Chains A and B, each alone.
Chain A
């Protein structure tokens, strides 16, 4: 536990916030009012009955924010799972496969990496129609190249470490080497990167929903709520404030935790880039 001493208080703030967010996402949507039904008059200010007030058609903002948190977290985590799986496979392939496979794979990864993420996601959502499924597909397709690059670089350095070479000399085959001696060293770095990438995914999902091509009503999401708030900001600015606040806090928290984790797993790189 000595390692944890150097971690900044922001890490603990972020981690605490994230725990609260998960609790909020699990219990919030049905705790007091349903998230998708009109329960009172529109544009109510916060009260003991409606903690954060009601939205443009009289739905409980507290419940809707909580459901938005659930959607954002689920999309963020599922997309990262898919991206990390593809990233690990592609990353390892581009180090260990023969050059007829590895070079085209690397070129393809670089090409995907260079192309603007969100533009690609918008195109994919554009052709597959809107909704949660296409958003997950679109964001996964854009998220894996960064992971693949990271895995490739890490594997390329780990491959030449003495203990790996020694294991190889003792007759270990490649799958065994990768599973037993290389992958276990990657989890720490990957976890740190995933935290930051989940933040990026949540931002991208909110952007798509803000544009009206992401999560579709009546299912609420933060991006969609920001859009509605933007339309009503003159008459009722609170509608804009809540989702903006939630989204910003979540992004900050994920970044703090990601940076903190990186400092724990990789103390050498604990410098501002």
Chain B
């Protein structure tokens, strides 16, 4: 009897747990390797590029000797492989050191302030995109090739093609400047004249639009496929009410590819937030990273790069964790 021929009942509880966990551990390792790869590329590219943190920190008027001294003080005169390993070691402890520009604040503190803002906006956006996208996609599929379907599809094409840095100024122009209903830009907690939701509305909607359009199309395609399956016809024949058929029987089948896409959409949300943050003056991680790039704040570039990359990897890992809970077929294939 071969290994594969064992039935489920023959596998011990411990063995089943191991088989369930192993692919997740592998995926975690894969994510870790890609993070190390990203950090390595960024680090080496920074070594190749002219100038370094010492030149920036010493200032524009510094002499060659002063820069050399600064380089020695900062430990930058040691070979780069040693410094890279040191950087990785510190990064594992979430210690990224200090900025080399301005008041040279600890990077942890800056990221600690910026990250929650970005996460809040990104999570609200993905929530909005998922709810609206799944709903519109289902409607579209149920009314396939009818007017509602065509309308939703054209709107979603528009949603994919309009860049967010074009949409955001237009929305601000209409709703903030002409209609005077929403704030023109972000304000920190203490200085707000309207409830939080007013400040979040434009950035969240702009950020959500593109994933919303993608998820709508995906949900539509997936639902159209599901509706063609045998069990749907059987359910109809059995007299299952229409709304129950769509929301219970088909939904769980159709949602799987959409969930995977939510994970990948998150990558878009991260880059989208760079744009939205800089256009709406939100002090999130995108704005911090762009500032670091324009000021050539190397430690900050490395840290924000790693953190955004890590977020992407973690969210996709979470999606992988949730999928088997929803779809028994995936659970079985892993066991």
Contact = CB atoms under 8 A, between A and B. Distances in A.
B301 A126 contact: yes
Given A115-B312, A122-B293, A206-B163, A127 B267 contact: no
A234 interface: yes
B46 A127 contact: yes
Interface of A: 111, 114-119, 122-130, 203, 206-207, 210-213, 223, 226-227, 229-230, 233-234, 237, 240, 244, 247-248, 251-252, 255, 272-273
Q: Which of A125, A207, A251 has the most CB of B within 10 A?
A: A207
Interface stretch (B111-119, B167-175, B235-243): B167-175
Given A207-B165, A212-B290, A213-B294, A114 B271 contact: no
Interface of B: 34, 37-38, 41-42, 45-46, 49-50, 153, 161-163, 165-166, 168-170, 172-173, 177, 184, 217, 221, 264, 267-268, 270-271, 274-275, 278-279, 289-290, 292-294, 296, 301, 305, 308-309, 312
Contacts of B163: 203, 206-207, 247-248, 251
B40 to A, nearest CB: 12
A267 B148 CA distance: 27
If over half of A's interface residues share one DSSP class (helix, strand or loop), that class is named, otherwise mixed; here it is helix
Contacts of A206: 163, 165
10 contacts: A119-B270, A123-B42, A123-B301, A126-B305, A210-B275, A210-B279, A211-B290, A212-B278, A229-B169, A251-B161
Given A115-B38, A128-B49, A206-B165, 20 more contacts: A111-B34, A115-B309, A119-B267, A119-B308, A122-B289, A122-B293, A123-B41, A123-B305, A124-B45, A126-B292, A127-B301, A211-B274, A211-B275, A213-B294, A230-B168, A230-B279, A240-B169, A240-B170, A244-B169, A255-B161
B270 A223 contact: no
Contacts of A247: 163, 166
Given A226-B169, A233-B177, A126 B289 contact: yes
A240 B173 contact: yes
Contact of B267 (A115, A227, A244, A273): A115
Contacts of A229: 169
Across the A-B interface, the 9 shortest Cβ-Cβ residue pairs: A116-B267, A118-B271, A126-B293, A127-B45, A230-B169, A127-B46, A244-B166, A210-B165, A126-B301
